[in-house]
Amino acid sequence: MSVLLYLFWLILPQSSTADAMILQEKLGVKVESPMSYTVTRERDVMIFNAEGAHLAEDYLFYDDGGSIVSFKGAVYNLNSDTPVRKSKQKDFIDRSIYNGGVSDYRVRRLDMTSGNYPYRVKIVSKIRVKKGFLSLPSWNPDRYLRTPVKSSIFEVQLPADYPVTVAEQNYPTAVEETALEKGGRLLKWAVNDLEARDQWEDYYPKNKQSITVSVVPQHFSYGNTVGNNASWQTFGQWYFELNKDKYSLPVALQEKTAELVKDKDRASAIQAIYQWVQKNNRYVSIQIGIGGFESAPSALTFSRGYGDCKALTTLTKGMLNYAGIAADPVLVYGGQAKREVDAGMVNNQFNHVILALPNAQDTTWLECTSDTSPVGYLGAFTGDRYGLYIKDQGSGLVKTKQYTLSDNILMNRAEMQLQANGTAIGEIEKTYQGVYFGEFLNWNQRTQKEQKAYYYSSLRMKSFTLQAHEESDEMAQFIHRKKINIEASNTVKKAGAKLFLTPNIFQNMGEQIKGDSRHFPIQQSQSFDQHNVVRWHLPAGYHPHKLPEPVELKSPFGTYHGRYEMQGNVLVWTRNYQYTAGKFPADDFEAFKAFEKAIYRAEKTRLMLVPTT
């Protein structure tokens, strides 16, 4: 085998972009009972260069509900079956999975990297889970870029009368199912000769582009609890029962809550409680107990003054409920990049919890881990996605606050006084609304250096000095404003008496997208509306040689309107750009590229200013 591998390396095309090659990989799961399963992993991989060296490392995640049975590796030369190095104690690092938090989740890392490329690594491991589980390990054979896969196998051995739900994504064939002689069944998925993928396609979630198989038990035992994944209602009921006794308040907190809401209407009472929680408690990641699902009691969080997302949500809900205001937790997957919930695959697809306050007209949302968010604001981290609303006998998937085109507005306005030597004095106003607003919730916690770096990155001028800046917020309307004064140099290029000016001083929109083919849909996750107005007060004796024609672009992806005009000696560039959220077929790729390219070019338009004769 090693001689063949060495010959294979020799005949690899020099232009190959592969960083590594998975020769053989096997993930085996054996379910022994509703409380326990064993996972074995075997990986045999060739490492070609430093970019592929991460595949010479492996990680095992565990907690007090599981144990590592075995974990070892070996390094080989391609032309030999004799290991040049076997794993030793110094190759392992064991640590908590959460730096700066509190957790009984741990990770053990094995590092078998070598600087002598190419080389081969084999890693085998076995881990046993023994205190229950919600789901089984998933299989994702083509998860690495520039890494072809010769063979990858996923086997799940199930006992008799153990129903599971299977979700397959991009798997090309049908699962193989075999009845076992001693009862039970074996499920098997396999792929061979997968070509290397050079890059992920933009404008579509990376986790949706690879092969993934997930297996979830329809009934589960976890810690000292039992539940089932028959429906979102039953899974939500399990979470409800797990935490239903956590909301009661100690006497001191009851008195504080009564004090906070005295003589206040509903809206004012919500704000008073929410702001008190924000001011008097801090967020700390805590992952202890039943998989991070069981919250600390409100009384404990109150006494500590800190908690994780579950604990802070529980504390806030307890106070609101005591004040007679309905509030329910909602499980979500938090992140700037929205992750879709597979509605047909009932299991835990969430990593965060927020609070929903239902009302006859609308729902008020609270992000209880933030010490700066105003009441009702979720933003890009948890907004506009499906979550699991937790309610006794009434749990189900709901959509969180959706931020639409009319919510997400960015307005830039600049008055630029241009001199013939290329120096310009500028007064700039920027207004951020909707998801844009969320970027500045922690603005006052940034250092002066960080704030200054933001200003310099937000303008595309080559050389300028920040003279002054000020900020203001309209928290109830989710609006952030900035006023900036700058002095810029080299704003024009000179050619004799002519001056060449790029009117757009803000960040360019649009892009020149590469690639001639598309496999996956084009997905735009967030709508927004951007308005730019830049007014250039031209130096005496200069005027544009010719004003560009207006740019009018209309497509399913959005609209773009840009125009130039003279108002006395002032050159005015106005641009309105509306970007439409949605999912578009891969066949629209060429049209999408053309739309983005046209915007990119319009944003970079340069004008020639000539002396007035």
Q: pLDDT tens across 287-332, in order?
A: 655 657 899 999 999 999 998 999 999 999 999 999 999 999 999 9
The mean predicted confidence, pLDDT, of the chain is 93
Q: Quote helix, strand, coil % in the chain, to nearest 5.
A: 20, 40, 40
Contact call for residues 277 and 316 (beta carbons, < 8 A): yes
What's the token pair of residue 358?
């239902």
Q: Is the pLDDT of residue 15 over 50?
A: no
Residue 582 β-bridge partners = 524
pLDDT at position 6 over 90: no
Task: List Cβ<8 Å contacts ≥24 apart for 590-596.
Answer: 591/555, 591/557, 592/203, 592/513, 592/522, 592/555, 592/557, 593/513, 595/510, 595/553, 595/555, 595/557, 595/558, 595/560, 596/510, 596/511, 596/512, 596/513
> What whole-number distance in Å separates Cα of residue 122 and Cα of residue 86?
10
Q: Which residues contact 434 (CB under 8 A, 6 or more apart)?
A: 403, 407, 408, 409, 478, 528
- Summarize pLDDT for 104-127 with one digit per residue, the tens: 778 999 999 999 999 999 999 999
**Pick from 472, 487, 389, 489: which is nearest to 432 by CA?**
472
Q: How far apart are the first and last CA of the chain?
A: 83
- 420 pLDDT more than 80: yes
Could you give the CA distance from residue 449 to residue 6 in angstroms, rounded to a whole number?
Answer: 53
Q: Does the structure show a pLDDT above 70 at 44?
A: yes
User: For the residues 77-100, what does the mean pLDDT come to?
Assistant: 88
pLDDT above 90 for 10: no
pLDDT at 13: 45
pLDDT at 28: 98
CA angle (571, 576, 582) in 5-degree steps = 160
What token pair was written down for 125?
A: 């491991």
Give, as one character, the DSSP assignment of residue 190. Answer: E
Q: What is the pLDDT of residue 122?
A: 98
Give the C-alpha separation, 458 to 223, whole Å: 50
- Torsion angle, CA of 259/265/270/276, rounded to 10 degrees? -30
Q: What is the rounded CA–CA span in Å between residue 515 and residue 537?
A: 41
Written as six digits, the tokens of 151 are: 């063979």
Rounded to 10 deg, the angle between the 251-261 and 309-322 helix axes is 70
Unique residue bearing structure tokens 């967030």? 526
Structure confidence at residue 2 (pLDDT) = 55
d(CA 322, CA 140): 46
Stretch 486-502: mean pLDDT, rounded? Answer: 94
* Both tokens assigned to 412: 């830039």
CA-to-CA distance for 500 and 491, rounded, in angstroms?
Answer: 9
- Asked if the model's pLDDT at residue 224 lies above 90, the reply is no
**Per-residue pLDDT reduced to its tens digit, 147-206:** 999 999 999 999 999 999 999 999 999 999 999 998 999 999 999 999 999 999 999 999
Axis crossing angle, helix 309-322 with helix 266-280, rounded to the nearest 10: 140
Chain segment 510-555, per-residue pLDDT in tens? 999 988 889 999 999 899 999 999 999 999 999 999 999 999 999 9
Q: How far apart are CA 370 and CA 378, in angstroms?
A: 10
Q: Which amino acid is at 558?
A: G
The reported pLDDT for the residue numbered 344 is: 92
Rounded to the nearest 10°, the torsion over CA 181, 187, 191, 197 is -160
Q: Are 229 and 216 in contact (CB under 8 A)?
A: yes
Beta strands in 131-180 (DSSP E): 149-158, 164-169, 176-179
Handedness of CA 82, 88, 90, 94 (dihedral sign): positive
pLDDT, tens digit, for every residue of 571-611? 999 999 999 999 999 999 999 999 999 999 999 999 999 99
Closest CA to 75 of 121, 138, 39, 41: 121
Angle of CA points 467, 471, 477, to nearest 5°: 155
Say how far apart CA 148 and CA 63 lie, in whole Å. Answer: 33
